Structure 1
Amino acid sequence: MREVFISHIQSRQLLLPQHRYLLACSGGMDSMALANLLLQAGIPFDIAHVNFKLREEESDGDQSFVENWAQKHQINFHLKIADTKYLSLSQGISIQMAAREIRYAFFEEIRAKFNLNGILLAHHEDDQLETIFLNLLRGTGIEGVYGMSERKGWLIRPLLPFSRAELTDFMKSGGLEWREDSSNEKSDYKRNKLRHHGLPAILSLEADARKNLLTSFERLKDTGRAFSGLFDYWKATSIVEKDGIQLLKYSDIAHLPGGASLLYFWLRSFGFNSDQTQQIWESLAEIKPGTVFIGKDFQLWLDRKEMMLCPKPFPFETLHIQKNDPELNLPEGTYDISRSSEPQAIDLRLQNALLDLDRLEFPLEIRLWKEGDRFFPLGMQSEKKISDFLIDLKVPLPKKQEVKVLVSGNKIAWVIGMRIADWAKITPATRQTIHFKKR
């Protein structure tokens, strides 16, 4: 097996003899097989071991075994003793998740501290099959059958092409030692149930079951790569960004085969899960403009001809402006506030507002507009609903919810950034002005 392993790491350029790596080593058969193969292949490495303190004397025995092996072979040894149960309770996560967080944080800490060229993990072919079937049991898309990557960032898995049986034969034939983890024989965990009962039953159905499964998963993985390329092309040609909003016309998605998957691959990076994207896809059968779907940090609106993706708005609480306040701070920017008793040229910029100071009642109020709000737009002598005013300006649905108004008394003096009210404008009779000027 030594020659096959060396051929594999050389052909894939996974490991280089001029580099030094960090081996995550539990002392079990898998990691000890990798340790011995690295030794025989002449690949320099350090060893990192985590004592999770979960199996009392057995955990301490694992630690001693790995430490003694490293010392015997003059390999640098790095140890982490962790209170895994405390982390699990304090963070409200499972023991398995706590152990995962501990070990990967420790491995990366050591790798960075000693400038090592990668973290070596001893996952093998059987682990890969177990991972894929667990993904399928949880409910997954095509990426779920990809399994674990041979290389991902600093993580490297040199044993993925080798089965547990091959590794066991290598260890036994060489008279090499390892530690047995008693918890691996229990069926308390889903992975162990699959390992001891589920997979053996599946693999017993056909003589070539293992080979056929691995071949099928590799073909599906290649199909996934093809889909990924098609998705990138579709995204580049169908999604348009304008003023911070991503726009997708219904005609570019509604009748496409696999449209639900295209939606998911687009929206998942914006905090939408597969169930939400399925709901969005189903909603396209009968589009109701104004429908909104909320993700973690983004929201998706359905308009008449397109869907619109944008960040969720900042929470906004009503503000008050006193007569002599020098500035106004809003999420969209800061306004300088100046006052004058001298004649002023009319400010035609929509983002600013020049108002007749004497016509205003202080304190002024700034709030989000709401249904039923009305005002007298500049140049008009009749009231208009702000909802209709925003429609006339063709303000996109997501932007409407961010629109704010400046209220004097019980009257709206300014739809901020869009239009002042006619009654609040300056006239030849104006004696004092107040000017909101955006920086």
Structure 2
Amino acid sequence: MGPGAEYRRIWTGNAASNLADGLTFVALPLLAADVTDDPAAVAGLPLAYTVPRILAVLGAGVLIDRADRRALLHLSNFCRAAVFGALTALVATGHVTLASLYAVSVVMGLAETLSDNTVFAVLPRAVPEDGLDRANARLTGAQLIIDEFLGPPLGGLLFAAAAFAPPGLTALAFLAAGISFFRLRGDYGHPPGAARPAGVLADIRAGAAWTWRHGIVRTTVVIGALASVGYMIPFSYLVLYARDVLGLGPTGYGVLLSASALGGLAGAWGAGRLRARLGYGRAIVAALALGCLAFTAVALTTRLAVVAVALAAYIGHAALWNVLASSVRQKVTPDALRGRVIATTRLLSFCGLALGSLLGGRLAETLGLRAPFLVAAGIFAVAVGVALAGLRHFRAWEDARAPGVKETPGTGGGA
């Protein structure tokens, strides 16, 4: 697939927003750690970020399926630029508080829900179906390089120099993302002639019902919810783990996160090749097993080098999972339902993130900063079992797509 101008604009806008996300991932916890030493308070930032997403995601899915998706992309990023511009002023004038950080997390979560879900919906219109694996891998690779390899160490270095610098650069990055999405020229509105239920609730029910009936999508929804819990349990307090267990300062914490992105690059690069060899279902099983082993390794050691390699393996699993799950859902979901299907999918993932945040802080307080990694590994083991149980749906869909077999779009792999 040779990427066209539309895909390049999507890639650029997504890359700019990922730079902002990488800076935010480091800056907000560091700002919170300057305000309080309470692990639960720091871990509450991801909770403030995810709860509004849970409340808004289904309505956002309806909006994506009814509105101009191009407008949703650039307006949501311009909104985030304004929010981080305000945060920069608060930090620079010494008026930042824990409450203001929570407020930024809430607004960021709402805008990101709309932006990220819309990217999922527009990509299949900008890229041929046979190029979706590569397109998603390139987006994921850029996300890992910028969001984790460039953003975290840059955020740590900027924070060490001036606390207001990371949110300031974040505002500029979101502004650049909005401009790139504004330059999209394709037709990204509601599909002509697509049936629309009578109201918002009917739209939501239709999307949720289709999601649950389709065997492949249902399997990935359940896995995504479990993986979200497992991911957020340790990552909700990771800044404290890095400081108190590994002895890392702000810059070292950012470098640790960026080093883990190397595994993600390998995962994104190899996703298409692994899928070609094993098929979507078995490739997803392998990815989840890698995530389980990675968290187990972190729980059993305090050696920095081993932890860095294990976290790289974990991010590698995440890249594999994201590329594979995104591509297969884009292929099996009708365009008129994409906003609502991804909204239903992410609703359970957001619930998992919220639950993981709550559990992470509590488990860290009661069991220490290492044991929760083992709990997270157990959750990933359950996700492996779900993936194995759902293999039949992937096999049925892939068999239906074999040469010489006529396929009805959007129906393969159903229950």
Name the TM-score, length of structure 2 as normaliser.
Answer: 0.23
Q: Give the greater-gyration-radius structure (CA).
A: 1
The higher-RCO structure (CA 8 Å, 6+ apart) is 2
Indicate the structure with greater helix content: 2
Of Structure 1 and Structure 2, the greater strand share is in 1
